Amino acid sequence: MADVSLSAISKSFGATQAVRGMDLSIADGEFVVLLGPTGAGKTTTLRLIAGLEKPDSGRIAINGEDVTTLDPASRDVAFVFQQYSLYPHLSVYDNLAFPLKSPARRLTPNEIDARVREVAKLVRIDHKLQNRSTKLSGGEMQRVAIGRALVRQPSIYLMDEPLSSLDAKLRADLRLELKRIQNDIGATMLYVTHDQIEAMTMADRIGILAEGRLVQVGTPREIYETPVDIHVANRLGQPRINILPPGLLPCPSIPAGTAQIGARTEHLAISVPANGETANARIDWIEHLGDHNYLHLVCGDRKLVSLVEPSLGLNSGMAVRVELADPLFFAADGARIATNATGSTGRNA
Amino acid sequence: MSANTAHSVVEPSATTKRVATVLVVLYAVITMIPLAWIFSTSFKSPPDSISYPPKILFEPTLEGYCNLFTSRSRQTQEYLDSLPPPQGVCEEIARERQMVVVSPSKFWPRFLNSLVIAFGSTFLAVFLGVLSAYGFSRFKVPLADDLLFFILSTRMMPPIAVAIPIYLMYRELGLTDTALGMILLYTAVNVSLAVWLLKGFIDEIPREYEEAALIDGYTRMQAFFKVVLPQATTGIAATAIFCLIFAWNEYAFAVLLTSGSAQTAPPFIPTIIGEGGLDWPAVGAGTTIFLVPILVFTVLLRRHLLRGITFGAVRK
């Protein structure tokens, strides 16, 4: 395992600037997740680290050694692709053994065999070693793909949305498994996804990407609670953060320069109006998710979504009172305005 | 799809299938008649082969094959009587016709020439084709489209248009009537087909496989042999068959450029007719043997061929 650092990396394809001046360092044994929409430059970043693309400018170092101009084979990284991850003409066993059989590594057949069986157990595919790789289910294929990365002990594991083609249940299972494996072997991992749940649950640190730029890096908690701007705030939280104009809902104190207010579920205090209070919103409808309800509110000409306990006894059509409690404030350019309440000290917290 | 899904929109009905089967069988039978006729002629005696009305049932003989493989000379009865008893089937048949076997004919060396030239040029065309197709498919080649069009354009001209320049060129280079010359010529003709066919197949192989291999510690060349080639077998097989059929059957250049030691079977077989009268059984025997290699090759690769022809039509 090793640390990896990118400094001022840029890469463009024709007129499209895929990555712009990216700085990122990943510590030894750290699990970093890059989160961003399609086209934000996540995959390009991985491919640059792997050596499948050469940066236009900037420097990539693995374990302190400059690898910017090295070819993929000399970088000692492992890559899990989103799809097409297994060699279709090889069995599961041969797929797992393939990286070990490389002429660059000199291992005896016994060493290879032992390593393959060990990893097959780790990713729980040891009962299907002789199967053809095309005869596996989606989850099994992806486990083999992850296994193929694990048979080596590379300096860093690069994973490009490895779970995105799987169904929800499998994704949840493999998410846990992947985190378990990463913990067990203390691997350095850079993981790319557009799924915020994967990012929140697995990452030591999350990097938010937008249009090729790394907008914010921090622990999941930091990113969630103190996003640098409205874009980052939008990436995290289910249901999505409500963006409201100031003055729509009562709020104790609004800092100067606030152009928009971001309110997540925990920032909305919803109550049935008591004596002397006036209702300022109406319940449009309620989505029942079982353990939780999505509450769709109409407030003036705005729509709000919040999560509520089913036990509150709210019905659609009811008039309710909504107040803001320590929401996020954003300036006109989208940057968040720090307040004492959110415990942050500046824009780049 | 199982047989009881009778009302499926895509699955043809039982009647349609039956009609289709009958039509296909009928077509196959009609196509097979000339081949069957050649095959039966090869086992006829010369009088049977030209009898009218044609004989469907006849007494099979190996005379055609003997005539194909041997040169014979007519002798007087006295001389024949003075010889020891005949050795082997062909000698026996020759004696009945008042002849003795003088030497083996040139058919076998000509057939070997065909094998060497056709398989040699097929191997070269596919080998060069797969390398350049990979290059065009994976790398940024300057003027790639123009180059590909140029490669294709070499196929647009009828071969006879370049026959004389090639003949003159080959005479200067000393390549006329050499196996090397024929291999180079057929390779040059086939390589355009090979590049175009194989580029289509290689384009369909996702790059991720090679990239995975590169990251796994293989060089580009090793990745090509270990990952790309095994997945391109279907395309390679289909291309090889097309190239082989062309090189095996080619007649015009073979007549023009070979006459002696490098002559292939196609120009040789018609010369049988001139030698000892209209020896149709020998022609039939030559043609039958000529058909065997391509038949074996196609049968061996038929699974790939079928997949190759329907390639791209069905996507997963």
Q: Strand (E) positions, chain A?
A: 4-13, 16-26, 31-35, 57-62, 65-66, 77-80, 156-160, 189-193, 205-210, 213-218, 242-244, 260-263, 268-271, 281-288, 293-299, 302-308, 319-324, 328-330, 336-337
| CB nearest to B206's CB, from A79, A84, A102 | A84
Task: Output A250 or A34, whichever has higher pLDDT.
Answer: A34
Q: Does B230 touch chain A (CB under 8 A)?
A: yes
- Residues 6 or more apart whose CB falls under 8 angstroms from that of B57 comprise none
| CB nearest to B218's CB, from A50, A52, A73 | A73
Give the pLDDT confidence score for residue A89 in this predicted structure.
Answer: 86
The reply to whether residue A72 touches residue B208, judged by beta carbons under 8 angstroms, is: no
pLDDT at A155 > cutoff 60:
yes
Q: Indicate the SS3 state at residue B10.
A: coil
Give the pLDDT confidence score for residue A1 in this predicted structure.
Answer: 62
Distance CA B152, CA A143 (A): 44
The reply to whether residue A85 touches residue B208, judged by beta carbons under 8 angstroms, is: yes
Give the pLDDT confidence score for residue A11 in this predicted structure.
Answer: 92
pLDDT at B312 > cutoff 70:
no
The reply to whether residue A73 touches residue B206, judged by beta carbons under 8 angstroms, is: no
Distance CA A156, CA B205 (A): 27
Which residues sit opposite A247 in a β-bridge? none
| CB nearest to B212's CB, from A71, A75, A79 | A79
Give the pLDDT confidence score for residue B275 in this predicted structure.
Answer: 58
Out of A241-250, B149-158, B299-308, least confident range? B299-308
For the sheet with A268-271, list strands across it: A268-271, A319-324, A281-288, A293-299, A302-308
A65, burial (CB in 10 Å: exposed 0-12, middle 13-18, buried 19+): exposed
Query: To the nearest whole angstrom, how far is the Cα of B209 from the nearest Cα of chain A?
Result: 7
Q: Does A50 touch chain B (CB under 8 A)?
A: yes
Q: Indicate the SS3 state at residue A21.
A: strand
Task: Output B19 or A185, whichever has higher pLDDT.
Answer: B19
In degrees, to the nearest 5, what angle opens at C-alpha B44 toward C-alphas B43 and B48?
A: 170
Mean pLDDT of B93-120: 90
* Beta carbons of A208 and A221 less than 8 angstroms apart: no
pLDDT at A259 > cutoff 90:
no
pLDDT at A95 > cutoff 50:
yes
Q: Which helix (H) or strand (E) covers residue B124, if one does?
A: helix B107-138
**Whole-prediction pTM value?**
0.77
Return the residue in A47, A53, A81, A161 with the most chain B beta carbons within 10 A, the one to mutate for interface testing.
Answer: A81
Distance CA B97, CA B90 (A): 11
Mean pLDDT of A165-177: 83
Give the pLDDT confidence score for residue A343 in this predicted structure.
Answer: 46
Q: Render pLDDT for A201-210 as a digit per residue (tens, 0 to 9).
A: 899 999 999 8
Q: Does A52 touch chain B (CB under 8 A)?
A: yes
Average pLDDT, chain A: 86
Q: Render pLDDT for A229-244 as a digit per residue (tens, 0 to 9).
A: 988 998 888 888 998 8
What are the angstrom distances between the C-alpha of A159 and each of A49, A50, B231? 11, 11, 25
pLDDT at B315 > cutoff 50:
no
Closest CA to A201 of A227, A160, A173, A229: A173
Q: Render pLDDT for A297-349 as a digit per residue (tens, 0 to 9).
A: 888 888 889 988 877 778 888 888 888 888 889 988 888 888 765 444 444 43
What's the pLDDT band for B1 if we cut at 50, 70, 90? very low
Q: Which helix (H) or strand (E) covers residue B100, if one does?
A: strand B99-104
Give the pLDDT confidence score for residue A340 in this predicted structure.
Answer: 60
| CB nearest to B215's CB, from A77, A83, A84 | A77
Mean pLDDT of A128-155: 86
Mean pLDDT of A79-99: 87
Contacts of A71 in chain B (CB under 8 A): 214
- Residues 6 or more apart whose CB falls under 8 angstroms from that of A94 comprise A87
Mean pLDDT of B29-49: 91
Most confident of A130-139, A250-259, B75-84, B228-237: B228-237
Task: Report CA A277 to chain centroid distance, whole Å.
Answer: 42
What are the angstrom distances between the C-alpha of A137 and each of A133, A134, B27, B78? 9, 8, 43, 84
Mean pLDDT of A147-165: 87
Q: Does B138 touch chain A (CB under 8 A)?
A: no
Average pLDDT, chain B: 87
Contacts of B221 in chain A (CB under 8 A): none
Q: Render pLDDT for B171-204 as a digit per residue (tens, 0 to 9).
A: 999 999 999 999 999 999 999 999 999 999 999 8
What's the pLDDT band for B276 if we cut at 50, 70, 90? low
| CB nearest to A73's CB, from B214, B227, B230 | B214
Q: What is the 3-state secondary structure (H, E, C) of B151-209?
A: HHHCCCCCHHHHHHHHHHHHHHHCCCCCHHHHHHHHHHHHHHHHHHHHHHHHHCCCHHH
Chain A, window 195-214: residues with a beta carbon less than 8 angstroms from a chain B beta carbon: none
Query: To the nearest whole angstrom, how far is the Cα of B306 from the nearest Cα of chain A?
Result: 19
The percentage of chain B sitting over the pLDDT mark of 70, rounded to a whole number, equals 93
The reply to whether residue B215 touches residue A104, judged by beta carbons under 8 angstroms, is: no
Return the residue in B204, B214, B216 with the most chain A beta carbons within 10 A, the one to mutate for interface testing.
Answer: B216
pLDDT at B273 > cutoff 70:
yes
